[in-house]
A and B are shown apart, each in its own frame.
Chain A
Amino acid sequence: DAKTTQPNSMESNEEEPVHLPCNHSTISGTDYIHWYRQLPSQGPEYVIHGLTSNVNNRMASLAIAEDRKSSTLILHRATLRDAAVYYCTRRTGANSKLTFGKGITLSVRP
């Protein structure tokens, strides 16, 4: 089973950009890379996903390395509400599940 590796935690200042890295060196060529986040006492929330090209949406940007062995979630201007655990994951297989690791705990300083 392909694994993802993320730092345990990161800190950021409010209104500054945040780059959250993820290594997924064994991901298959057809697996989409997904990012979710989980705020305290809430269920995981979808952030963004992509296959090969960089992706943008209203929440964030996703930069995928050319060899697909790593990706970076970019929050362009961190807010206090962005403090959460961020999971880099993939959705794959017959059971279509998301495999969650421990995630990155992002703290945002005012």
Chain B
Amino acid sequence: EAQVTQNPRYLITVTGKKLTVTCSQNMNHEYMSWYRQDPGLGLRQIYYSMNVEVTDKGDVPEGYKVSRKEKRNFPLILESPSPNQTSLYFCASGRVANTGELFFGEGSRLTVL
């Protein structure tokens, strides 16, 4: 089954404690991206990757890091989480061409105390 898998689905952590949200896709997609969803602000892109070892900032990259060492994986790293990073996070993947659909994971709800 074609899918994008995120882990963990739910996490409560404390300020400053490094964490990683993993994302894996099994569709051999070149393109992967992270979004965060906040009430009243919709979905905003954090980082994206056009292929292995190719990553770039989206609209709200501050406080986040990513890496793309393998085609299927695109982890989101919060080196020193802060309460304003409490949010619902979605990973997405798709073909590079802008005409194609994106496949989203089920989301990771992160709470930073």
Contact = CB atoms under 8 A, between A and B. Distances in A.
Contacts of B104: 43-45
Contacts of A96: 31, 33, 48, 50, 94, 96, 98
A49 B101 contact: yes
Interface residues of A, number: 24
Contacts of B94: 96
Contact of A44 (B43, B45, B56): B43
Contact of A98 (B43, B99, B105): B43
- Say whether chain A's binding surface is mostly helix, strand, loop, or mixed: loop
Nearest to A98: B102
Given A32-B98, A102-B42, A97 B48 contact: yes
A8 B94 CA distance: 28
Q: What's the interface size class on B, roughly?
A: 20 to 34
Contacts of A97: 33, 45, 48, 58-59
Interface in B36-69: 42-43, 45, 48, 50, 56, 58-59
Contact of A46 (B90, B99, B101, B107): B101
Contact of B58 (A41, A42, A95, A102): A95
Contacts of B50: 96
A91 B42 contact: no
Contacts of A45: 104
